[in-house]
C-alpha cells in the first residue's frame, strides 16, 4: 500500500549516568557523525530532520530551535516532535511513505545528568489544580498504577522485582548500558519505598546519550545499506490527559498503539510472529503490563510468563535483552530510540554476546512516563 521504509544506519553516543565532557550539542554531533558515516552520506543528502525533545529537560524554551546545527540541518526542513523517539520515527516513516522525502533523520538525546531536580520537572507535568497541589512525589501516579495492576493481574511485588534483576543482569552483556549490575530481589524490595509499591530500585535510573537514525525509501535504503532493517508497522495513542479519568491498571494506550502497528505489519499472533521485544520498563511493573497490552501474553498473565522463564534472553519471548531502561538508563524522550537501537543491532547481527539467534522481527514500545498515558509501538524486520 505504501512505500517501504528502511533504517539505513543508527549512530549513538552513550549510555552513561554522566557525560561531563560534552555539551548536549556535542553529544548530538558525536552520534550524528557516526550515523552519517555508517550510511556513507553527509547531512546534505538528507531531505528532512526530526528531533524529539522536551523544553524543560533541555533547560530552555524553544529547544526545537536548538536542534539543527549539530545535526548538519541548518537551512534544511527540520521539526521537533514534543514526544517520544518512536513517535518521531513514525513521523519519519510517514514523510517517506508520502513521498515528501527520500532520506529522513531522527534525533533525540538525554543530558539528564544536567538536570538538578528531575522530580520538579515531573511535578510540573501534573495538573496544577488537582494533582500538583498534593505536593508529593510525582511517582505517586506510578504507585497508584502499580497497586491497581497487581490487583488486576497475577503479578506481585516480587515478580516486579525480578524484572529489575533480569534487566540489570541483561545490561551486563551490553557494553553501552550504564546500569548493569548483579542485584537480588531482596535488594529491590528493601530499597527506599518511594511510592509503595514502587521502590527506588524499581524505577529506571537515568543515563545520558544520543541516538540518530537514518531512514530511507526502499531503493535508497538498499543502495546505502547491505542489510537495511525495515519498518513494518507504527502505532501510537494517548489516553485521557486527566489522571482521574483513566483506567489505573490497564495498559490502554499500549493496546491501541499495538493494534495500529499490528494491522500495518500484518501481525495477528504477536507471540509467534515477533522474535524479540524491547518494551517500556520505566518502572519494573510496566514491562509486565506492556506485554499484556501488546497481547504477547493474555491479560494478567505476564507474571506467569516470567515465572516460566519465557522473558529471559533464552526464552521464547526475549524481553529487554538490552537491559531495558532499568539496565541501560532512562534516556528521557530518547528512550524509545535505545529500544529501536537494540532491535537494529539484533536484526543486523551486531549485538555481540547478547545476540539472539535467528531473529527476523522485533517490536519496540515506549511510554512517555508519569503523568502521561502516551505509548508508541514500532515493529521492524530484516526481510
Cα 229 to the chain's mean position, in Å? 17
Nearest residue (CB) to another protein, 226 versus 245: 245
Q: Kindly state whether residue 244 participates in binding another protein, applying the rule CB under 8 A.
A: yes
For residue 14, give the nearest of 27, 1, 29 by alpha carbon.
Answer: 27
| Residue selected from 131, 234, 289, 338 as contacting another protein according to rule CB under 8 A | 131
Residues within window 285-344 making contact with another protein, judged by CB under 8 A: none
As a whole number of angstroms, the distance between CA 89 and CA 363 comes to: 13
Quickly list H helices, 225-333. Answer: 252-265, 270-273, 284-293, 302-307, 324-328
Nearest residue (CB) to another protein, 93 versus 224: 224
Nearest residue (CB) to another protein, 117 versus 226: 117
As a whole number of angstroms, the distance between CA 340 and CA 110 comes to: 16
Rounded to a whole number of angstroms, the minimum distance from the CB of residue 196 to another protein is 4
Q: Kindly state whether residue 34 participates in binding another protein, applying the rule CB under 8 A.
A: yes
CB 301 within 8 A of CB 151: no
Cell numbers describing residue 45: 543528502
Concatenating the DSSP letter of every residue in 352-364 gives GGGPPSS--EEEE
Q: Among 44-52, 79-87, 112-120, 357-365, which window interacts with another protein (CB under 8 A)?
A: 112-120
| Residue selected from 108, 123, 373, 382 as contacting another protein according to rule CB under 8 A | 123
Nearest residue (CB) to another protein, 26 versus 45: 26
| Residue selected from 172, 181, 194, 356 as contacting another protein according to rule CB under 8 A | 194
Query: Tell me, what DSSP letter sits at residue 204?
Result: P
Q: Kindly state whether residue 136 participates in binding another protein, applying the rule CB under 8 A.
A: yes
CB 1 within 8 A of CB 94: no
Q: Kindly state whether residue 148 participates in binding another protein, applying the rule CB under 8 A.
A: yes
Q: Kindly state whether residue 262 participates in binding another protein, applying the rule CB under 8 A.
A: no
Q: Collapse the DSSP code of 49 into the 3-class scheme (helix H, G, I; strand E, B; otherwise coil) and give the result.
A: strand
User: In the stretch 38-77, what mask flags binding to another protein with x, by CB under 8 A?
Assistant: ---------------------xx-----------------
Element (H, E) at 209: strand 208-217
- Report the alpha-carbon angle 152-201-21, nearest 5: 135
CB 237 within 8 A of CB 366: no
Rounded to a whole number of angstroms, the minimum distance from the CB of residue 264 to another protein is 26
Cell numbers describing residue 330: 532512562
Q: Kindly state whether residue 209 participates in binding another protein, applying the rule CB under 8 A.
A: no
| Residue selected from 40, 99, 193, 352 as contacting another protein according to rule CB under 8 A | 193
| Residue selected from 116, 226, 353, 358 as contacting another protein according to rule CB under 8 A | 116
Query: Tell me, what DSSP letter sits at residue 178?
Result: S
Please give the size of the binding site for another protein, defined by CB under 8 A: 53
Q: Kindly state whether residue 238 participates in binding another protein, applying the rule CB under 8 A.
A: no
Q: Among 29-37, 72-80, 271-279, 291-299, which window interacts with another protein (CB under 8 A)?
A: 29-37
Nearest residue (CB) to another protein, 48 versus 243: 243
Query: Tell me, what DSSP letter sits at residue 322?
Result: T
Residue 285 makes CB contacts below 8 A (sequence gap 6+) with 145, 146, 149, 150, 155, 160, 163, 197, 198, 202
Residues that bind another protein (CB under 8 A): 13, 20-21, 26, 29-30, 33-34, 37, 59-60, 114, 116-120, 123, 128-140, 142-148, 151, 192-198, 240, 242-245, 248-249
Amino acid at each position: 500500500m505504501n512505500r517501504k521504509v528502511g533504517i539505513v544506519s543508527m549512530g549513538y553516543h552513550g549510555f552513561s549516568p554522566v557525560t561531563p565532557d560534552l555539551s548536549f550539542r556535542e553529544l548530538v554531533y558525536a552520534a550524528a557523525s557516526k550515523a552519517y558515516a555508517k550510511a556513507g552520506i553527509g547531512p546534505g543528502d538528507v531531505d528532512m530532520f526530526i528531533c524529539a525533545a522536551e523544553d524543560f529537560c533541555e533547560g530552555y524554551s524553544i529547544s526545537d530551535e536548538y536542534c539543527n546545527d549539530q545535526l548538519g540541518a541548518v537551512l534544511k526542513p527540520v521539526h521537533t516532535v514534543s514526544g517520544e523517539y518512536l513517535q518521531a520515527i513514525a513521523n519519519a516513516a510517514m514523510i517517506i511513505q508520502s513521498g515528501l522525502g527520500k532520506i529522513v533523520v531522527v534525533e533525540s538525546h538525554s543530558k539528564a545528568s544536567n538536570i538538578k531536580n528531575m522530580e520538579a520537572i515531573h511535578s510540573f507535568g501534573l495538573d496544577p489544580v488537582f494533582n500538583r497541589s498534593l505536593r508529593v512525589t510525582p511517582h505517586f501516579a506510578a504507585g497508584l498504577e502499580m497497586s491497581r495492576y497487581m490487583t488486576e493481574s497475577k503479578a506481585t511485588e516480587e515478580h516486579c522485582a525480578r524484572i529489575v534483576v533480569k534487566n540489570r543482569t541483561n545490561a551486563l552483556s551490553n557494553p553501552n548500558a550504564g546500569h548493569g549490575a548483579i542485584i537480588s530481589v531482596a535488594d529491590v524490595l528493601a530499597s527506599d519505598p518511594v511510592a509503595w509499591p514502587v521502590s527506588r530500585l524499581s524505577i529506571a535510573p537515568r543515563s545520558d546519550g544520543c541516538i540518530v537514525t537514518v531512514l530511507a525509501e526502499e531503493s535508497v535504503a538498499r543502495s546505502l545499506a547491505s542489510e537495511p532493517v525495515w519498518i513494518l508497522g507504527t502505532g501510537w495513542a494517548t489516553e485521557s490527559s486527566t489522571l482521574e479519568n483513566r483506567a489505573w491498571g490497564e495498559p490502554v494506550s499500549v493496546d491501541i498503539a499495538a493494534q495500529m502497528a499490528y494491522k500495518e505489519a500484518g501481525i495477528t499472533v504477536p507471540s509467534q510472529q515477533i522474535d524479540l521485544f524491547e518494551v517500556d520498563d520505566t518502572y519494573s511493573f510496566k514491562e509486565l503490563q506492556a506485554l499484556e497490552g501488546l497481547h504477547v501474553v493474555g491479560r494478567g498473565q505476564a507474571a506467569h510468563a516470567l515465572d516460566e522463564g519465557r522473558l529471559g534472553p533464552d526464552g521464547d519471548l526475549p524481553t529487554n535483552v538490552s537491559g531495558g531502561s532499568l539496565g541501560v538508563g532512562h534516556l528521557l524522550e530518547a528512550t524509545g530510540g535505545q529500544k529501536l537501537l537494540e532491535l537494529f543491532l539484533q536484526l543486523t547481527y551486531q549485538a555481540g554476546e547478547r545476540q539472539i539467534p535467528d531473529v527476523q522481527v522485533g517490536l519496540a514500545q515506549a511510554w512517555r512516563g508519569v503523568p502521561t498515558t502516551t505509548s508508541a509501538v514500532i515493529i521492524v524486520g530484516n526481510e
